[in-house]
Amino acid sequence: MKPVLTTQPLAAVAPGPSAAPPVRRIIKLGGAAVTVKSQLETLRPEVLDSLVRTLATTSGLPEAEASTSGAGGTVLVHGAGSFGHFPASEYGVVRGPISDPRVRRGFTLSRASVTKLNGLVVGALVAAGVPAVGLSPLGLYHTCNKQVAVSGGASASALLAAGLLPVLHGDCVLDTALGCTVLSGDTLVRDLAERLRPQYVVFLTNVPGVYDRPPEEAGARLLRRIMVTPDGGWRVAEVEGGSDGGDSGGGDSSVRMSVDAHDATGGIALKVEEAAAVARMGIPVLIAQAGSEHGDAACRLGPQVAATAAGGEGGGEGEGGGVAAASGSPPATWRGTLVVLEGC
Amino acid sequence: MKPVLTTQPLAAVAPGPSAAPPVRRIIKLGGAAVTVKSQLETLRPEVLDSLVRTLATTSGLPEAEASTSGAGGTVLVHGAGSFGHFPASEYGVVRGPISDPRVRRGFTLSRASVTKLNGLVVGALVAAGVPAVGLSPLGLYHTCNKQVAVSGGASASALLAAGLLPVLHGDCVLDTALGCTVLSGDTLVRDLAERLRPQYVVFLTNVPGVYDRPPEEAGARLLRRIMVTPDGGWRVAEVEGGSDGGDSGGGDSSVRMSVDAHDATGGIALKVEEAAAVARMGIPVLIAQAGSEHGDAACRLGPQVAATAAGGEGGGEGEGGGVAAASGSPPATWRGTLVVLEGC
């Protein structure tokens, strides 16, 4: 039997516009950043610890007070990485149908794995005093041909209003056309940004930002500022090492954007496309390395941090970045990619 | 800021009556049965294993096929036991308000703990090949003064239709009047029974059924059959050891019903009241010991199993019951409590 769903959003439980709490930021913690993607269910505890420190000491303002005082709360979304991706790929969960016993098996294996990761992420946050609660998309989100048809944004909003920090994750969901699919964390971020209108969005990845080609290739350059236009175009406005990438109308064909070549739920194109879609809403997007001082500063300061990049020539540290302690002051020169709407 | 919620159910995503999949049973696994309630986060793995065997070998029919073939699927609800109850009690989560930082802290600690138990339950089921998926109430369910105001029943129904076995649990939820509260697994069962209309409901507890007084007291007798009436009354129709408890109109005052004296989310009265409320819908309820052959038989056979009790005089085994292997044949004499609507 095929699941019967409508595509009507859960407006019934959505707070009205005036009641919606202010949302400061949505942070996406990449699956490739927080796990060792090649090793089954292997966490990178130092990356998680770094984010936990950032959230526990955010500008000295506890999340709950920030959320309820008007400063705005935080939503965290994490990917699956090596929790969930292996069975999801092996059993073809992204294509469905759920009526196929093999796909259904993959669905349950993937979900059991990614909810395990969610438990680890939430557990670490709660242990540090952050008012985090897991909010697993299955049952809240439904898709139609991989596009969000029913959103769980209203539930996230209600939790924010209560001073809580919702932690969502890329998940297996039911899909009215395919039976089931994988809803990526990046797509979740776009949906939540549209509904919650945060002040900014941060993607924490396993490399320092978006490059003009795979970052492991010689001569790869970090794109420091990408301008998107309302019509769907974009151009590289600033590249690390000076001289911008030139104007490029609907996209720079000399640029093979690379954030994380190993992402299994849509790869580079999807991630950058989702980031551009968010920026096109007028919400600045920062892409930086998880576990680095740059990632930490992006989470704490939002687009303000990129002011240090505007005049900077080259980063002060090597490619690796590594895990820096979450410090109170921003790095002298921020390394990462800022994606903003032209004119903003 | 108080969460703003309406009390309108999620009808938008609910399958219509004709599309709703047949539901065979709702099984409630008591927190006191599956955990050692006095020891923090301590599972009783042998009790969980017994239920997993029951669900993995249900009448030889895999759950998914049962759900999609018309035989009907299964919903599992578990309590929190020593996962969640300690912080929930210590921090007063049941009373709210969530705006109190201390209550909010208890809320996040309780949730992190009970979702850990959910992960263990779902993980064990999935490892045995059961198509189980966790469905955590927070975000799906909202209450008003502890009563269900927005139900997650539609989501459970959609998962059933997809051949999956939803596993819910007693949880902390947002409450429009109190800010937050604890939604007990027993209340969840009543809500799901009302919306999904299963063929029967089984409560698996840590004692063999409902007693006429605390089961550890000398002379405590197992109530084998309780008849409820549409007006809210009930009577004991059969007691273990022969001679019934007599007619008792609106409730037998000589009976101090006892299922589990240590339950922290409402205790005996709530549990039996929720069971009676389900029976009043015309849905038979069986209460039996988790991990015993009687609990296993109740899950597999539903009210049919109680036919063996009708003529039986006394159980064939001692009070303890213990963990029996999930066998294919029912016990010669079933020990447990059947709660049914008068005339059914």
Residues of B whose CB is below 8 A from A176: none
DSSP string, A115-127: HHHHHHHHHHHHH
Q: Answer yes or no: are the C-beta atoms of A29 and A121 closer than 8 Å.
A: yes
Q: Look up the CATH number of domain B21-49+69-198.
A: 3.40.1160.10
- In angstroms, the Cα distances linking B117 to A13, A160, A166, A315, B92 are 28, 25, 19, 46, 21
**Given pLDDT bands bounded at 50, 70 and 90, which one contains residue A20?**
confident
- Span B151-161, average pLDDT: 96
Q: Is the dihedral of CA B269, B270, B276, B280 positive or negative?
A: positive
CA dihedral B290, B51, B21, B194 (to 10 degrees): 20
Q: Rounded to an integer, what distance in angstroms lies between the CA atom of residue B298 and that of residue B287? A: 8
Residues of B whose CB is below 8 A from A64: 101, 104
Dihedrals φ, ψ of A61, to 5°? -105, 115
Q: Rounded to an integer, what distance in angstroms lies between the CA atom of residue B123 and that of residue B188? A: 21
| pLDDT score, position B267 | 54
pLDDT tens figures, A289-338 = 999 999 999 999 999 998 754 444 333 444 444 454 445 566 778 999 99
DSSP letter for B4, please.
-
- In angstroms, the Cα distances linking A219 to A241, A253, A263, A310, A319 are 11, 17, 22, 21, 12
Q: Rounded to an integer, what distance in angstroms lies between the CA atom of residue B275 and that of residue B265? A: 15
pLDDT tens figures, B80-106 = 999 988 888 889 999 999 999 999 999
Helix residue ranges, H only, B58-141: 63-69, 85-90, 101-127
Q: Of A148, A153, A143, A142, which is closest to residue A15 (Cα–Cα)? A: A153
Cβ contact (<8 Å) for A134 and B140?
no
Q: Is the dihedral of CA B29, B34, B38, B42 positive or negative?
A: negative
Fold of A18-341: Carbamate kinase (3.40.1160)
**Given pLDDT bands bounded at 50, 70 and 90, which one contains residue A241?**
confident
Q: Rounded to an integer, what distance in angstroms lies between the CA atom of residue A100 and that of residue A206? A: 35
pLDDT tens figures, A52-61 = 999 998 644 5
- Span B269-285, average pLDDT: 88
Cβ contact (<8 Å) for A123 and B116?
yes
Dihedrals φ, ψ of B173, to 5°? -135, 165
Provide the shortest C-alpha distance from residue A241 to chain B (in Å). Answer: 45
Q: Rounded to an integer, what distance in angstroms lies between the CA atom of residue A339 and that of residue A336? A: 10
Take residue A45 and report the two structure tokens written for it: 């505890």
From the CB of residue B247, how many other CB atoms can be counted at a distance below 10 Å?
11
DSSP letter for A22, please.
P
Q: Rounded to an integer, what distance in angstroms lies between the CA atom of residue B101 and that of residue B124? A: 35
3-state secondary structure A267-290: HHHHHHHHHHHHHHCCCCEEEEEC
- Span A98-102, average pLDDT: 94
Would you call the peptide bond into A166 cis, given omega within 30 degrees of 0 as the criterion? no
Q: Rounded to an integer, what distance in angstroms lies between the CA atom of residue B177 and that of residue B2? A: 9
Contacts (Cβ under 8 Å, ≥6 apart) of A164: A64, A67, A73, A131, A132, A133, B98, B104, B107, B108
Picking from A98-107, A157-166, A169-178, B331-340, which range would have the lowest pLDDT averaged per residue? B331-340
Q: Give yes or no for residue A67 having a pLDDT over 90.
A: no
Q: Considering only the beta carbons, identify the residue of B111, B126, B139 that sits closest to A152.
A: B139
CA atoms within a 13 Å half-sphere pointing along the CA-CB vector of B79: 32
Q: Is A16 helix (H, G, I), strand (E, B) or coil?
A: coil
**Given pLDDT bands bounded at 50, 70 and 90, which one contains residue B208?**
very high
Q: Of B167, B80, B166, B156, which is closest to residue B116 (Cα–Cα)? A: B80
Which is it for strands A165-169 and A132-134: parallel, antiparallel or unpaired?
parallel
**Given pLDDT bands bounded at 50, 70 and 90, which one contains residue B254?**
low
The label of the residue with tokens 């008007």 reads A70
How much is the mean pLDDT over chain A?
Answer: 82
Q: Rounded to an integer, what distance in angstroms lies between the CA atom of residue A130 and that of residue A127? A: 7
Q: Rounded to an integer, what distance in angstroms lies between the CA atom of residue B148 and that of residue B180? A: 12
A-B C-beta contacts closer than 8 Å? 187
Take residue A224 and report the two structure tokens written for it: 């420091």
Q: Considering only the beta carbons, identify the residue of B5, B62, B133 that sits closest to A13.
A: B5
pLDDT-above-70 percentage for chain A? 75
Contacts (Cβ under 8 Å, ≥6 apart) of B343: none
Q: Is B160 helix (H, G, I), strand (E, B) or coil?
A: helix
Q: Give yes or no for residue B6 having a pLDDT over 50.
A: no
Q: Give yes or no for residue B320 having a pLDDT over 60.
A: no
Residue type, B136: S
Cβ contact (<8 Å) for B163 and A98?
yes
Q: Considering only the beta carbons, identify the residue of A1, A10, A115 that sits closest to B68.
A: A1
| pLDDT score, position A274 | 86
Q: Give yes or no for residue B194 having a pLDDT over 80.
A: yes
| pLDDT score, position A279 | 96
* More confident of the two residues A220 and B47: B47
- Stretch(es) of chain B classified as CATH 3.40.1160.10: 21-49+69-198
Question: Which stretch, A263-267, A309-313, B175-179, has highest mean pLDDT?
Answer: B175-179
DSSP letter for A344, please.
-
Would you call the peptide bond into A137 cis, given omega within 30 degrees of 0 as the criterion? no
pLDDT tens figures, B220-249 = 899 999 999 888 888 888 888 765 544 443
Q: Rounded to an integer, what distance in angstroms lies between the CA atom of residue A265 and that of residue A85? A: 8
Q: Answer yes or no: are the C-beta atoms of A263 and A275 closer than 8 Å.
A: no
Take residue A10 and report the two structure tokens written for it: 């859960």
Q: Considering only the beta carbons, identify the residue of A1, A115, A135 that sits closest to B139.
A: A135
Strand partners of residue A168 = A77
| pLDDT score, position B165 | 96
| pLDDT score, position B316 | 40
Provide the shortest C-alpha distance from residue B13 to chain A (in Å). Answer: 5
| pLDDT score, position A330 | 66
DSSP string, B171-182: EEEEETTTEEEE
- In angstroms, the Cα distances linking A214 to A309, B90, B302 are 22, 52, 60
- Helix or strand run (H / E) with residue A297: helix A293-301
Residue type, A168: L
Q: Rounded to an integer, what distance in angstroms lies between the CA atom of residue A22 and that of residue A198? A: 7
Q: Rounded to an integer, what distance in angstroms lies between the CA atom of residue A279 and that of residue A333? A: 22
Residues of A whose CB is below 8 A from B162: 1-3, 98-99, 104, 174, 179-180
* More confident of the two residues B229 and B201: B201
Cβ contact (<8 Å) for A174 and B156?
no
